[in-house]
Amino acid sequence: MAMAKISIKNMMCYGFHGIYEYEREQGQKFFLDIELVTKDNKAAETDKAEDGVDSAIVYGKVRDIFENERCTLMQTAATNINKKLLATFPHVAEVTTTIRKPSAVIAGPLDYVEVEVTSKQGE
C-alpha cells in the first residue's frame, strides 16, 4: 500500500524549554522539522483536501503547542507535538519531530543540539 510523507522543514519557533530555569523564563529560538507519514495515499487518489494533511494546520498546531507549553526536555516537547498531531490526524500512521536548539548551554562551539522523536498511531 502506498503512503505519503509530508514534511515541514526548519520551522522557527520561540520556546521556553530547557533544564535551566532561565531558559524556561526567557525562552529562545528553536528550529523544528515535522514529518508525517500517512496510512495510505488516499489523498492522491481522490485529490480531496479532507483526505490529506493540511500543512498549514500542522504548522499552526505545532507552533501553538511548542510556544505555549514549557518543558524541561526537548524530548518531552517533541513527544507532546507527536501525540497531539496523531490525535488530530487519525489517517497519519507516524510522526517524527526533530528539534534543534542553537543556543544550547554547552561550554564549547557547536551549531546546535538536536533531538528526534518518532511516534506511531496507537502507541
Q: Where are the domains of the chain?
A: 5-120
What is the average pLDDT score of the chain?
93
CA distances from 96 to 4, 63, 92, 113, 117 (A): 14, 15, 11, 17, 6
Cβ atoms of residues 66 and 13 within 8 Å: yes
Q: What is the pLDDT of residues 21-77, one digit of tens each?
A: 888 889 999 999 999 999 888 777 777 877 788 999 999 999 999 999 999 999 999
Sheet containing strand 5-15, strands side by side = 5-15, 28-38, 92-101, 113-120
More confident call, 17 vs 51: 17
Single-letter code of the amino acid located at 7: S
Distance CA 39, CA 43 (A): 11
Q: Which of 16-25, 60-69, 109-118 has the lowest mean pLDDT?
A: 16-25
What pLDDT score does 1 carry?
65
**Cβ atoms of 36 and 85 closer than 8 Å:** yes
What's the CATH number of domain 5-120, 3.40.630.30, 3.20.20.150, 3.40.50.300, 3.30.1130.10?
A: 3.30.1130.10
pTM of the model: 0.91
